[in-house]
Amino acid sequence: MTLRVLLVDDQALLRGAFRTLLDSSDDITVVGEAGDGAQAVALTRELRPDVIVMDIQMPGMDGIAATAEICADPDLRACRVLILTTYETDEYIAQALRAGASGFIGKGINTQDLLKAVRTIADGDTLLSPTATRSLVARFLATPAQTQPPRSEQLAALTPREREMVTLVATGMSNLEIADRMYLSPFTVRAHVQRAMNKLQARDRAQLVVVAYQTGLARAAPNGGTEQA
């Protein structure tokens, strides 16, 4: 299966460079390019890419607004957004995740990590495993400034095992890491996580993390990590 990617950046030179990097892989192809958020939304509806690699700062509609519009459209539920930006600030990371992005990486990333990021996002996983990003997620999504009210009643639908899985996902652990910790198979972990996502109506793991913090199932630890509520 070839993954279809839409590149969004207001700098044509950078789009060309990223296209070259992505097209170098046999399982990834760039199907379109956009120079601003409005064009990105229009092309996403037209092309239905698997992954949108999205810049943040662009003229007109920026990447955060475009991500929010794409992720709010039920017809585009299968399209995943990977934020790729020079501005790796705490607030941008929080805004991107709240808007529905499935990952957030810097433009200094190397070729292999970029290819891996696209494959990870397309697979329904998320790029929240680095310690720094995990800390930022904990700090910002657990604050009173969150854009959506807590939804603790949603947790009632989860089994104890599913609640445990959601908490571990919120720490940034991958399915394989959770499997090793819980002495389970990765397939079993993936099934638990998927059921939790369905029950909580989370479109991907990034939104599952958002729900974990909004409901209080996970919270920021004093050391900047994540702890179980």
Closest-CA residue to 146 (of 209, 83, 73, 53): 209
Q: What is the pLDDT of residues 3-18, one digit of tens each?
A: 999 999 999 999 999 9
Q: What is the pLDDT of residues 167-181, one digit of tens each?
A: 888 877 778 788 889
Pair 174, 211: CB distance under 8 Å: no
State pTM to two decimals: 0.70
Percent of the chain with pLDDT over 70: 81
List % helix, strand, coil for the chain (3-state, nearest 5).
50, 15, 35
- Domains for the chain: give ranges and CATH numbers: 3-127 (3.40.50.2300), 149-228 (3.40.50.2300)
If pLDDT is split at 50, 70 and 90, which confidence band does 131 have?
very low
